[in-house]
């Protein structure tokens, strides 16, 4: 509940146009840089390797069972919709979520947040909101890129280097991706992005002001993030298949 209220407050801040002055823009840029751009090569290699291996297994197993026609459906339904968003959000959670949690917890313990408030500076505007926005954009971008690269890899695994099948392939893939599914994926990814940034910030602010409690806060925050991710995943699956 407290988390939801906190989230709504940040949303309110984020939706106010005058929030975006050069300082906030700079913090958002930095957040995106550290979360997504810096990690992009590693992340892309990691998601490509997983995609290639899984698609290769799907294709060969399906061929053995004579179910090749279901491979595109499996790639879209399992890899694109479930696994790649999950992997990208775990990646961001472990890389940036933990960092955000530690940073906020240290700022909180060192009374920096109180100092901001004393100086009439809204920490939500200059510290929290940019991190959340940057995190959401990063998770969205990483998921999107990994999904598109997985689709490209799937083409090469299924058809080899024969470009003449590309039209046929994109057409059949497009038939498997109704807009509701795409919007559902975007919504889920935004939720993931919110939970890997909002929960660490909130957890970092919750601890008593003792330095030795910072690791505890990070640990707690990460566990919460993990549960939230699983909850979102289960909820999306239930919603999709009920």
Partner 1 sequence: MNKSIQFKVGAFILAALLTGAFSFIYLLYERGWFEHSLQYTLIAPDAENISVGMPLVFRGIAIGKVSSLTLSPQGMARIVVSVESRQSQWLRANSQFSLDKPLVGAAKIRADVSDLSSPLLSPDKEYPLNQGSGDLDIPALAAKANAILDQLGTVAKNVAYMTRRDGEINATLVNAQAITHKMTGKYGVAQGLLGSEQNAQVLMDSLQHTRELTANLDEMSRKLDRTVFDKGGLIDNANQSVAQLPPMLEDIRASLKKVDTLLVNANGLTANLKEGTDDMGQLRSEVDEALSKTNQLITKINRFLPAGKPGEVKLP
Report the interface residues with partner 1, using CB under 8 A.
26, 29-30, 32-33, 36-37, 40, 137, 140-141, 144-145, 148, 170-171, 173-175, 177-179, 182
Closest CA to 200 of 178, 218, 187, 175: 218
**Least gap, CB of 199 to partner 1 (angstroms):** 24
CA distances from 142 to 16, 36, 37, 42, 230 (A): 26, 7, 9, 11, 19
CB closer to partner 1 out of 36 and 225:
36
- Rounded Cα distance, 181 and 173, in Å: 13
Number of C-beta neighbours around residue 76 at 10 A = 20
**Least gap, CB of 222 to partner 1 (angstroms):** 26
Give the position of tokens 């660490």: 200
CB closer to partner 1 out of 113 and 142:
142
**Least gap, CB of 183 to partner 1 (angstroms):** 10
CB closer to partner 1 out of 110 and 175:
175
- Rounded Cα distance, 48 and 44, in Å: 6
**Least gap, CB of 34 to partner 1 (angstroms):** 9
CB closer to partner 1 out of 1 and 179:
179
């Amino acid at each position: 509940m407290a988390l939801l209220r906190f989230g709504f407050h940040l949303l309110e801040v984020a939706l106010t146009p005058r929030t975006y002055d050069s300082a906030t823009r700079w913090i958002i840029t930095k957040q995106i840089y550290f979360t997504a751009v810096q990690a992009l090569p590693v992340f892309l290699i990691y998601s490509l390797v997983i995609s290639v291996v899984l698609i290769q297994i799907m294709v060969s197993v399906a061929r053995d069972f004579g179910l090749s026609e279901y491979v595109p459906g499996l790639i879209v339904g399992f890899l694109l919709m479930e696994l790649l968003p999950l992997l990208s959000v775990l990646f961001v959670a472990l890389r940036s979520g933990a960092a955000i949690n530690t940073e906020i917890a240290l700022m909180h313990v060192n009374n920096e947040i109180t100092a901001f408030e004393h100086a009439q500076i809204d920490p939500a505007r200059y510290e929290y909101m940019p991190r959340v926005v940057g995190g959401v954009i990063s998770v969205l971008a990483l998921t999107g890129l990994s999904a598109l690269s997985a689709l490209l890899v799937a083409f090469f695994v299924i058809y080899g280097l024969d470009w003449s099948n590309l039209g046929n392939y994109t057409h059949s893939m497009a038939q498997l991706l109704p807009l509701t599914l795409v919007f559902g994926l975007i919504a889920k990814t935004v939720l993931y992005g919110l939970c890997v940034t909002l929960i660490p910030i909130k957890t970092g602010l919750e601890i008593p002001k003792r330095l030795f409690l910072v690791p505890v806060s990070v640990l707690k925050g990460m566990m919460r993030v993990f549960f939230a991710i699983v909850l979102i995943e289960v909820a999306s699956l239930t919603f999709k298949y009920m």
